Amino acid sequence: MRMILIAGGWSSERAVSLAGARKIEIALNALGHEVRRLDPASEFADLVPAAAAADFAFINLHGSPGEDGLIQAMLEEAGCPYQGAGPKASFLALNKAAAKAIYALHGLRSPGWRLFCGLPDEDKACGLGWPVFVKPNTGGSSLGMSLVREPAALAPALDKVFTLGQEALVEACIQGVELTCAVLDETSLPVIMIRPKAGAAFFDYDNKYADDGAEELCPAPIDPALALEVQRMALCAHRALGITGYSRSDFMADATGPYILETNTLPGMTATSLLPKAAAAVGLSFEDLVSELVRMGLEAQAARARQTIQARLAGPGAA
């Protein structure tokens, strides 16, 4: 097939996007596809014409655009299939505060949180206690994130996020084990345990992408009952947000059980990323994973086409 591989963009996660795209392009070529790279940062005007001429678009963007649903909406207008979540699900999942509201609606436990659009009148975190995490509400890769242990450090941490042009999510810190679980085609993959390298306060950017970063254990060496609950919650979040194809949800677990933190609709695809590691644990090579994502994307496009036809047949007066 004629493919466009959409990567780069203008978010703070541009470098991660490009690193993953290199590996994806090799896999797509090995699978026999004709690949054209397209970077929205420099070729945004070319996106719709290129999509209209392509058989498939493989999206490997992080942050906005890409995970906010904009690119997906444009591809749908061009009639081009793509992998992963649609515009609505992408938008809801990227916005951490919105996702947490959806989690609560579906009975999924998440750490206490508050959304800040400016500095508070007083140095307090609205009753969340200390420490707290301060993070960009729509960011990823732990960029701009701070662990705040005392009231005096809250304002600088908020300013760090506001400097990125974002609102800040302040979240209660759960002391426990960090876990992540991917969903692929409505099936939860094995849970991964993340152990940040010595001296790291949390699973930050360096831990995620450096060769000597965090230790990632798959399957996670945890109680089977805890693993099953994390898998259940990951699939529930996937469905609650309306995600199709694949996703990856992050968790913290303490003695009382797991808390869901966030859900990623375009999980990382670099050599050190978590989704390929979980897929490998069930026998899927990187090429197999890419092939499966393309297959699901084509199926999703066929489903959208059927829905469009049904809506037209029903007419404007249909409920």
Catalytic residues: 13, 141, 209, 248, 250, 262, 264, 268
Per residue, the 3-state secondary structure of the chain, as one string, reads CEEEEEECCCCCCHHHHHHHHHHHHHHHHHCCCEEEEECHHHHHHHHHHHHHHCCEEEEECCCCCCCCCHHHHHHHHHCCCECCCCHHHHHHHHCHHHHHHHHHHCCCCCCCEEEECCCCCCCCCCCCCCCEEEEECCCCCCCCCEEECCHHHHHHHHHHHHCCCCCEEEEECCCCEEEEEEEECCEECCCEEEECCCCCCCCCHHHHHCCCCCEEECCCCCCHHHHHHHHHHHHHHHHHCCCCCEEEEEEEEECCEEEEEEEECCCCCCCCCHHHHHHHHCCCCHHHHHHHHHHHHHHHHHHHHHHHHHHHHHCCCCC
Q: In the numeric block, which tokens belong to residue 265?
A: 């609709």
Task: Tell me which residue of 76, 86, 304, 243 sits closest to 312, measured CA to CA.
Answer: 304
Cα first-last separation, the chain = 38
User: Which tokens belong to 99?
Assistant: 């996702």
Tokens at residue 84, please? 């992963």
